[in-house]
Amino acid sequence: MSPEIANLTDTIERELNLLRELAGDLIACRTAFTGMDLDAIHMHVAKQAMLCEKLQKVEAERATAWQTGAQRGGLPTPGGDVRAWIQSLDPPVAARLRELLTELVVAEGEVRNLNRVHTLLIDGSRKTLNVLTNALAAFSPTYAAPAASKPLASVGAQR
């Protein structure tokens, strides 16, 4: 396996691992949203943001690895005939690269689907919070503190 192909497969594997980790966290954070656990929600949001930043870096590294490999002649140019190029490789290398690329596409699709589900979950949580806010707002005039009441500390200080 050429160094260009090894570098490309390494970056694809790292990207795949990050996508799988992001998918796992998107599933794990559902309980935080359904339980309205704000601390857990903030923790998951921070983790997902960190994973997205890492994904952006790895995607940039993959693009750089691809360009470098194409300039050196080991890889096709971006947008070139990747299928024909993979078929021209040694069978074990071609099988591994085909497997990685297929897993990458599947993982990207899974994260895209989980993002849609997550968006629906957030929209549902937002609607629930709006209902609770409206319900509490309707009762605020009924249970508001009287305007003439004094704080307890000032009542004890007058004696």
pLDDT of residue 48: 95
pLDDT of residue 152: 59
The pTM for the full model equals 0.74
Q: Taking the domains of the chain in order of start, what are their residue ranges?
A: 3-113
pLDDT values of the chain reduced to their tens digit, one per residue, 159 residues? 788 888 889 999 999 999 999 999 999 998 988 887 889 999 999 999 999 999 999 999 988 888 887 777 667 776 667 787 788 888 888 899 899 999 999 999 999 999 999 898 888 878 888 888 888 877 766 666 666 665 655 555 554
pLDDT of residue 59: 93
| Residue 135 burial (CB count, 10 A) | 9
